[in-house]
Chains A and B, each alone.
Chain A
Amino acid sequence: MKYLLAFAVAWFLAVLNVSAMPYVQVLHVTPDVVLIFAACWTMVRGRDEGLIVVPIAALLRDLTTSDPLGTSLLAMAPLIPLAAVVRLRAMATDFLPTVALVAAGSFFYGVISTLVLAATGQTTPWDDAFLRVVLPAALVNSLFTPIVYLPVHWFSPGRKAWLVGSTRYTSA
């Protein structure tokens, strides 16, 4: 049931990503709500659910854009190991680690997408892609994280206080 819900939300956000979100341009980039959703779900609901939801979100994103199917799957894959790295540092909240995950995940997403574009023979202006797209996207996606994080957090059982996390790893 929870994966069905994740599928429905990811599909809606993927549609939103290509229809309404392009109107929202901050620093000349569009926030990627699908990536933010996948990162929030992984961080709030745990890695095991992330292993299922990240590929679902990635495939739905590719199906609604002109990217080759599989691009987002590759580009979002770092979310899972990054989530584990972010959780290594004990914090009393899930929110800040989620923002960090979104920023790092967006960066890797941009780099891998650019690599895929180059590998498929498309023109890739590396310097402009890095300075004008990859870095701004990491920042903008981080800024938009609360919009997706709060609903995901509220919907998760036992996590009503939005700043208090409960799934973190703690070091001894």
Chain B
Amino acid sequence: MRVIWWLATVVAVGLVGIVLSEQRALDPLHDLSLTTTAPVEDGIRDIASPLNDIYEGVRDRGGLVRENRRLQEELEALKQQLAEQQDAQQRIRELEDALQVKQSRPEDQLLVANVIAQEPSGLKRAIAIDRGQDDGIDEGMVVLSRNGTLVGTVSLAYRDFAWVRLITDPESAVNAEVELQGPQPQPPASPQAVAPATTAPATPTPSVTEPGSVPQEPGSQPARGVAEGDLRDGLVLDLLPTEAGIAQGNLVLTSGLGGNYPPALLIGSVKDVDERPQSPFKTATLEPAADLSSLDTVLILVSFRPARLSGR
């Protein structure tokens, strides 16, 4: 009997809490909690980050295909370089990187924020940052990596902190376009589906440093779709026209349609194309340009006001 009463109380309190949270009545409590925990979380992340490098190295050994192995080696080399730096030097370099991005996009106002926490639930992909409404952060604002590639949008803004919904979250949808500059697949036999021809050489290497300056073949039309977060594949480009000649390695940028994201922000590159004969659209799995699993510093694009209504 006591357990039944306990369960009834817990369910009632839980439901009331959820309703109050949805109405944003408990935001001060969340903000206070993050204020209390942020220094500890930041410290633990600093300690855990190098350990993660070791863990990743052990976990991924032996399971890589040839191209992934090459990329992994590059990643390992970069991580090794990072591990050798002192914390202070690392922070300075991150801020220098941020400054470079700012110089490359002089028209944009960017705000640097530190990542203090990451959503542990597998059902959501989100990070917490140490900037909030007092810093001019608003829900819906676009968040970039320190290299200027798209990371996500602000989904919850408290006074001093905010949660950022990553582009791999199932709730995320970004209007995107594929730059058709890479190798094109063989045209299908069907006369209705003809891929636009391009003459670019094979295997392009995506550049993640200059999001606004991706070269495009003259005359090639970008294929438009929607980049959606996916629990299985991470990031999927859906609603692509069947006649679009998408190939592995093609760069995917924001199209700017809908007004929620500025155009020409690099989202990632095409990893795999899923083409079904009966499907009205083509789908592609994307590799995000930013390493979303180990973000330390992000940039918030405060000068861009998204068209979407603020809300969760």
Contacts and interface: CB of A to CB of B under 8 A. Distances in A.
Interface stretch (A89-97, A128-136, A158-166): A128-136
Contacts of A142: none
B1 to A, nearest CB: 13
A23 B48 contact: yes
Given A15-B40, A18-B117, A24-B55, A66 B21 contact: no
A16 B44 contact: yes
Contacts of A69: 17-18, 20-21, 26, 29-30
Interface in A103-153: 110, 113-114, 116-117, 119-125, 128-129, 132-133, 136-137
A23 B122 contact: no
A67 B45 CA distance: 21
A136 B232 CA distance: 13
A110 to B, nearest CB: 8
B160 interface: no
B29 A128 contact: no
B163 to A, nearest CB: 4
Contacts of B119: 18, 22, 65-66
Contacts of A129: 123, 231
Chain B interface residue bracket vs A: 35 or more
Nearest to B25: A69
Interface stretch (B5-13, B75-83, B208-216): B5-13
- The listed residue with most B CB atoms (<10 A of its CB), out of A14, A67, A120, is A67
B120 A120 contact: no
B51 interface: yes
Contact of A125 (B40, B42, B230): B230
Given A70-B14, A77-B10, A22 B118 contact: yes
B7 A84 contact: no
A30 interface: yes
Contact of A68 (B11, B21, B117): B21
B41 A18 contact: yes
B47 interface: yes
Interface in B37-73: 37, 40-42, 44-45, 47-49, 51-52, 55
A7 to B, nearest CB: 13
Contact of B18 (A24, A30, A70): A70
Contacts of B312: 120-122
B309 interface: no
A63 interface: yes
Contacts of A114: 123
Contact of A23 (B18, B37, B51): B51
Contact of A51 (B6, B41, B52): B6
A81 to B, nearest CB: 6
B10 A73 contact: yes
B41 A15 contact: yes
B305 interface: no
A77 B11 contact: yes
Contacts of B122: 28-30, 110, 132-133, 136-137
A80 B3 contact: yes
Contacts of B41: 15, 18-19, 64
Interface in B82-133: 116-124, 126, 128
A63 B30 contact: yes
Given A81-B3, A116-B18, A67 B121 contact: yes
Nearest to B17: A70
A67 B262 CA distance: 28
Contacts of B49: 23
A62 B34 CA distance: 11
A18 B230 contact: no
- List the 6 closest A-B pairs by CB distance, nearest first: A70-B17, A68-B21, A133-B122, A20-B48, A23-B52, A18-B117
29 contacts: A16-B44, A18-B41, A18-B119, A19-B40, A19-B42, A19-B117, A20-B44, A20-B51, A22-B118, A23-B51, A23-B293, A23-B294, A30-B120, A65-B117, A67-B121, A69-B17, A69-B18, A70-B14, A70-B18, A71-B18, A74-B11, A77-B10, A80-B3, A113-B123, A120-B22, A121-B312, A122-B170, A125-B170, A137-B122
Interface of B: 2-3, 6-7, 10-11, 13-18, 20-22, 26, 29-30, 33-34, 37, 40-42, 44-45, 47-49, 51-52, 55, 116-124, 126, 128, 155-156, 163, 170-171, 230-232, 293-294, 312
